[in-house]
Amino acid sequence: MKRKHLIVVGGGAAGFFAAVNAAEMNSALQVTLLEKSGKLLAKVAVSGGGRCNVTHHCFEIEDMIRNYPRGARFLKKAFHHFFTPDTIQWFHQRGVPLKVEKDGRMFPVSNRSETIIDCLLKAANRLGVDIRLHSPVSRISVYRNETGISNEAQKRFTVYLSDTAFLEADYLCLACGGYPKLAQYNWLQELSLQIKPPVPSLFTFNIPGSGITELMGISVNAASIKVAGTKLRSEGPLLITHWGLSGPAVLRLSAWGAIELAQRQYQFTVLVNWTGALSEQQLQQSWPEWRNTFATRKIFQHQPFALPARLWHYLLQKSGIDDSQRWGDLLQKQQNALIQWLTASSFEVKGKTTFKEEFVTCGGIDLSEIDVNTMQSKNQPGLFFAGEMMDVDGITGGFNFQHAWTSGWIAAKSIANIADT
Ligand SMILES: Cc1cc2nc3c(=O)[nH]c(=O)nc-3n(C[C@H](O)[C@H](O)[C@H](O)COP(=O)(O)OP(=O)(O)OC[C@H]3O[C@@H](n4cnc5c(N)ncnc54)[C@H](O)[C@@H]3O)c2cc1C
């Protein structure tokens, strides 16, 4: 009997996981992996600052899915098939133990992403996966047997690398990653897939012309930020950069607001509460007590918020308060202005900057097209998906790779199973 052929398109985390696991689960399967560039697992190499943040130390599905602005409900089901403990075990069984850091991110003990790359490459070689570099897939055609006469010799998919070069496959797994441009999905036209318009996620805010950027390098551990006129808000560490605002609070907001902020063409007002949880009303209430306690002290030298001195100086300046002024001498007008600046500093965001450490695409193959238990297209038998190409994306912290491993593994399992039938 002729071997069934699986072609995986994309040599990233998801494509590799699908290819290697399918080959391992069904040795009768012939597996080919096509990568358009000259480099395999390129994002794995640079991720986590070259250490590869493989997954997140979270063993509760309900908690885990809170980190995915898109695809949480889908993943709730998918994680029942392959979850964080499975990832840890998978790599451990192949000689790559993982360790956890304080913030929950998990890395190889070696602290080197090469360890993950070597592990996947070794497995692919051992299992005979045929890896072809510089093989960009430019078109796919599907054989539809309308004659009703069985045609065993005819493979279902023809995968074109150019007008004349092509390969044929029984099963196809698309793991091409994310592209924040709809036109990049044109080559999939023949598959009639629904695509959720892709836009970038995980970016930082540009605030040109604002004095705040002079405080670059300063960070506040627990700030809260919101986008004026929307429900978008987030909390956490905030970093002032030479172009605007960054840090986990901003990245999280950019992820949850990816679609809304794209619609606003990245022009919006962001309001920063430097105290984190304290409201304007709470500050108004506490103020008389601080005023009494610190009455004779210089306001610049005594503040109850533990903010970096340069930031405090900036906020005082903005509120029209001189560094030498004492708490007891503060005018009502100055006090109100300071409370306003502390709880709702307003900045005009004009544009975004890609975050170097991690960025992903929001949007992609519509999840309504995909059977979560198999990762197979609901309309196109034999067609599977894995990774960021689907309309799933997470915040930073290892969540995007976990999705790549999970979807790659489920696709592999389903293909290995049906290839047997
Ligand atoms: C700088 C950076 C750092 C990151 N750090 C982390 C991190 O620490 N933790 C985390 O969880 N996530 C991280 N991410 C996100 C994570 O890397 C991705 O979500 C994940 O790599 C997606 O894997 P994938 O296999 O779906 O796609 P990709 O890794 O993008 O792989 C897709 C592959 O398909 C190939 N391809 C595309 N089209 C074709 C075609 N037509 N024919 C043939 N090949 C094709 C591409 O060249 C590419 O190699 C980071 C992302 C970036 C950009």
User: What digits encode the pLDDT tens for the residues 331-345?
Assistant: 999 999 999 999 999
Å from CA of 232 to ligand 1 middle: 27
Whether residue 44 has pLDDT greater than 70: yes
Q: What is the pLDDT of residues 271-289, one digit of tens each?
A: 999 999 899 999 999 999 9
**Rounded to whole angstroms, how far apart are CA atoms 170 and 30?**
10
Å from CA of 373 to ligand 1 middle: 22
Average pLDDT over residues 239-251: 96
* Binding pocket residue ranges, ligand 1, CB within 6 Å: 9-15, 34-37, 42-43, 46-48, 53, 135-137, 175-177, 357-360, 387-389, 398-401, 404
> For residue 150, what pLDDT is reported?
57
Taking residue 146's Cβ as centre, other Cβ atoms within 10 Å add up to 6
Categorize the per-residue pLDDT at 151 as very low, low, confident or very high, splitting at 50, 70 and 90.
low
Strands (E), 86-218: 98-100, 105-108, 130-132, 139-142, 157-160, 166-169, 171-174, 195-201, 203-206
Asked if 34 contacts 135 with a C-beta cutoff of 8 angstroms, the reply is yes
Q: Which pTM was predicted? A: 0.94
User: Whose CA is closest to 64, among 391, 386, 359, 395?
Assistant: 395
Q: What is the pLDDT of residues 91-119, one digit of tens each?
A: 999 999 999 999 999 999 999 999 999 99
Q: What is the pLDDT of residues 129-142, one digit of tens each?
A: 999 999 999 999 99
Locate 30 and state its tokens: 């012939």
Taking residue 245's Cβ as centre, other Cβ atoms within 10 Å add up to 24
User: Whose CA is closest to 211, among 316, 106, 297?
Assistant: 316
**Rounded to whole angstroms, how far apart are CA atoms 362 and 259?**
8
> For residue 190, what pLDDT is reported?
85
Å from CA of 371 to ligand 1 middle: 22
Taking residue 380's Cβ as centre, other Cβ atoms within 10 Å add up to 18
Atom number, ligand 1, closest to the C-alpha of residue 51: 8
The percent of residues above 90 in pLDDT, for the chain, comes to: 88
> For residue 174, what pLDDT is reported?
97
Ligand 1 test: best mutation among 358, 359, 365, 407, most atoms within 8 Å of CB? 358
